[in-house]
Structure 1
Amino acid sequence: MVDSLRMAIIALSFALLWMGLTFCQASSLGLTVHVVPIQNDGGQSVRAHFTTIASNPCPPLTGLCTEGVNCTLHRAYEPFSGIKPSLGWCVRQWEQVLPSNYQKTISFNSDTTFYVSMKAAPHLRVNSGKLNHPPYVALPPPMRARMNCPHHIHLSVKDLDGDKVRCRFAEEKQGECLNCSPHSFIELNEDSCMLTFTGNAKLGPYSIYLMAEDYIPTPKVSQTSDRQPLSSVPVQLSFTVEQSTSSCADEPIATLRTPREHATFYALPFEDVKFDVDFMSQKESVTEIAVVGQPGLLKYGFTSTDGMSRLSMSWVRGENTLPRALPICFVANTVTLQSEPRCIWLYQREIKTLPHGTELICNKTEMTLILPIGSLSNINLDELQLNSAACPINFNETHLTARIALDGCGTKTVHIGTELVYTNTLKSVHPSSLIRRQPSLIFPLACRFPAVQARSPNFNIKIPTNAFDNAAVRLEFYNPGEGPMAKYTRNPQFNPLEPILAQLDSSPARHIRAVQGQLGSRIKDLDLHLISNTTLARAEISIQRCMESETADFTQSYIFLEDGCKSARSTKEIVASSNVRIFRLRLADLFPVGIMMYVKCEVDLCITFLPSEKCSKQCNQALGRGGTPTMLSKHFTVRSEPISLVRTRTTTSMSVVTNEAGQTEAGQTEATTSAPVEVVIGTSSAPEQAFSMAMGLTLILISIFLQHICFP
């Protein structure tokens, strides 16, 4: 027994050493900084918009800066994340006012650091008299390549001033990076910002450090090599070389339905931009479409069947301090393959303020526009119309007026945070057969209502009805403070739960079982996790009931959760993220006898009509406020395999149980899969304990050694 334990711990030590070295090499998986000069101080300061990619476990944003006027942390409802490569990754985003020339090492925690060097000193442009804008570079998800499979990687760049953007390797001697020598297997075309992987690299993760620079365009005949850039901003990329197990041409390929590379979508205020990305993969099924996007980007409806995969995305332009040009990059990952990264851009149109004297009156059923005609110089009033040409626009010698129905005239409805926004547009519509020199007009119109005031009959959230088609719910058990949600269960915050009054201490079966004796060393507490894989914002897990039984057929069962109510004081809900419900069960009270239990839960995934409503059932209350129905729901029944309630062995494992889906709004299905089920902790003999303590000290020393390797 001692020999087998010794070999297991030695193997674990080497595994930890290898994992630690991997973290050292790839804890920073990418960074871009989009710089916007601040006009008030002549560009001496800039608003720097950071997008970074960090290895899992996803680091917190706390400690980066003090939130306020000069700093905003973008806490995503569900961060952009991925499972490939290695242990997975997540995106962290924030914006901060900084000096235009800036160098600093930024730390999320002891495992994740980024060195940032940017040179964006103010430059007043001769052609416009405005401050220069440094270039923007889109950050792709962590890139994967295969040994001996050369390919190109085109970085997507934009410059708001129309300057020429060039990319070069960062230079350590200029203070642009730390330990950043270029790799021999990566070539760079500086003029086109194109990377070329030669294929001649060893397996493992690598980092690529670049600087993107903007130059005033000049004719080719007059270009010289000593031109100085207007600004320089950092770009850091991750690149993992993996083993090649198939042809180099087997990567997933984007279909024609996917927006083309570098495509630009223009967005007016409160406009909803939607698009789909599709990939075809003949060799392996796509396991994820990884995305690095913008705050507020919604991803939903991922499917992967018969070699075809799809993901839908939507972004609503609300009030924000984000740059005008916003990149979204995505790749399709399989187990061993990755598609070429593709990036598109959202462009926030600059809109002038409404002329003096303009009124937009928002009522419950319509908005009324009053616009002085004197402000519309050189505009043909006969060509003006709303989203729907059927709605009239009236004007006289002084004013233009329009009454715009909230449920007609082409008015659109979007949700931004907790607000409901009705939008329409007053614009010039020219006959398509004519070439016009006359200016055009575009006036976006919006009426905004807090969710609690939005009570008209036309405020449905626009979410596709197939949003839950690939959703799943799984049921898992963990010891307190362990498992993927340990950050919630280690130092838990509890939600109050009311008891099920009709059943509290009144079940005959419970009284019969309570008088029986204990068997073995029993586990005191377990955490029950109900976890959904949905990425749909505002989706909630609503629990109908959870029950336990000593037998798999549940012929005799006991309900310990129903409509958010609990059966005893020993059931507590732990505050967690919206796609997870966690309950701490005190087994001595809930399951006083027996050595095994089975658990079955009936739950719904749902979304409400109003952002102010909740679809998770509260104890002794109807669903939502006043019985408001959910807009979309799907029913699931999840079962566990037998869960051991006694401590009999020296290993610790968890019960992983099934997830299965029923039909939307209607019937349901049920299934179960096999999985390890023991949750047991035991004791060992004295020699084993002594050896474990010695190896524990060894692991501590290895940990200290790794810290010095990663952060000397």
Structure 2
Amino acid sequence: MASTTVLLLQLVLVSLASASHHYGGMATYTYKGRNTDGSFNVDFRRRSTYSGCSSHHSWYCVVSGHCAPFTYEKGTIESNSIWCETELLSTIKVVNDKPFNMRAHSCCWVNTRNLVSNWYLLTLIDLGMRSDTREPNRSPDVSIIPYLRIPQNCPRTYKLMAFDPDGDRVRCRYGNIPTHECHQCSLPGGFTLDQDSCMLHYNSTTHHSSVFGFEMVVEDFPKNHISLTYSDRSRRSVTPLNLIHPVPLSKLPLQFSVRVESSAPSCQEGVYLPQFINPTPANGARVQAVLNKEMEIIVKAQVSMGRIQAIHVSGPMNISKHTNAHNEFVIKWTPLHNDLGDHYPICFVVDALHQSRVYQSEMRCVLVDITATQVKSHVICTETTMTVMVEKASFPRLHQDHLRLSDPTNTVCSLQTHSNSTHVIGVFPLNACGTQVEEDNDFLYFKNEITPFDNTADVITRKHLLEVQFYCQYPKRGNVTQGFLAHRTNVTVWDKGFGTFTYQFEFYPDNQFHTMIDPISYPLEYDLGSRIYMQIEATSSVSNTELFVESCKASPYDNPNYSQTYSIIENGCKVDPTVVIHPSSDVKEFQFSIEAFKFIGLHDQVYISCSLMMCEAGNSNTRCSQGCINSTSPAKRRKREAIIQSAHHFVSQGPLRLHRSAESPEATGTWNLNLNLVFIVGCLLAAVGMVCGVALYKAKVSKVKYQPLPHLEN
């Protein structure tokens, strides 16, 4: 019995410990239709913020038996070194459409300055039919960054995102019902709250390592008297907010944490505190997204002291973020079928780092409206071209003669050449027709669009009847051992396809390099000391680029990082004494040869792997132009902004083996040549990253700027 008691106590302590890292939470709901049995479906979304991603709030229906979840989905919105916000989506089946409460409560918050310990979250859901809209009542849409940071000496105002799809007035108040809406139930000192405008003002207080825990409530009220009618024919009247003791239509919890830190040397935005600049959307901006189409929000900030470090985002499940080549943050999200007609707020802040101190920007929020697909299109990407096809039936008011790509001046950019009776079709090179080149850490993007025009000489339009934006996306780095061509279909706003550029690693019978050895003749076998002729070729539609092979090494396994390797070329220099580099008139080809060898021991095969990159031809500031760099070569300092070059990529070929010979005991049973032609076709995007941007880089340098790789700096 004693051991059972101890075990129960341990379980209780573990439970409390797992819940003792609470930073905040919120909830919203959406009516999703009526079932044949008379019950109603409600999407109930709730977000939980803890110090880790494994915990979440446990909600329950206050009226027993009134509702039960029958679908469930969980996703991570934001995870960083301090906090993690997750979202749970349940479609709840409720027995009727009358008002009811959902509730969650437990212990404990993180250590808070205002002594908030237990957390209480309460939601009022009312699905009654409104007399003004003739539709079921909908809740406000709310969001906030759950962990905010403020320097002690810098007053700041946060405009909380609170939008109501029914057009109701939204009020943000502090919780005032103990053990239901709040624990401490009083606004922390140093802050004021304008309830009607949902603005939270920070004025002044002392700094502290602990956070303030905020326990707020968001409510909506009609602008005029309305009534709600329920399925049992009962009604309730709802009064506007300006009357005495108004009763809200809905009630949502909004809890979050704010940390007041030590003073900043300056409170001016853009010095230490990040300042948002173009093209960052304004706070409260409306953004349109289309079902099953990936949307983008570009965020950019600057500081003169320190550097921009990170972005934090709160939004719908499966939202993502990355950094592009313009030092901008890109927030991406794809709405799905169940999101049609809904509205989703997305909030973000940016951190800057100066020495060891983090400074946070203001918070901005945008509202994303989800609409249905309007134009049906399809895009295919290859290593040299983009093909876009748009169904004419999806835009009957426009004729193909009045549609064009971004820059139609080249005849290859005409949409008339390939179009037919059912589709407008464009087939054009990646580096033509006004295609924009952008990149992030992982991908290179070639973007273009089809837009309407009245006169071929027009450069602007005010008749924005159609805009089909699309892009091809290519991976920039990685070890590629097979090629692929793939595409995503039926994309309208951002049509995206996947394709490959090609590195081709082949063997040749002699130093003429005229005809490669046919793969059907494999496996290939060599005698010890005989010469092996190899060529690496880069395929790209972009001119003025060159291939550079920085290193090659041999390994008994197809792994360039295997512990036992033999260097053939290092830092652009020949290491193996038998290496011969054969001159080629094509700067995108590298031809070389070595004498055949084997690894000592039981290894019977050899793989050859090379690290290579692409550069702008003739640019003296690239790694390619430096050639061989050995320990005695003088260091060359390069200007960062001038370098146009890709990341490193690896291609490999093999295995190779020796001819079996009775006169050569060492060769007997060795080199089981199974020359797997690991056909390296993989768009080593980056390789063309700098490359594919070259043509556009010169014409649009303000939009496409490539930077050198950090490990290449001196």
Q: TM-score, normalised by structure 1?
A: 0.49
Q: TM-score, normalised by structure 2?
A: 0.49
Q: Which has the larger radius of gyration?
A: 2
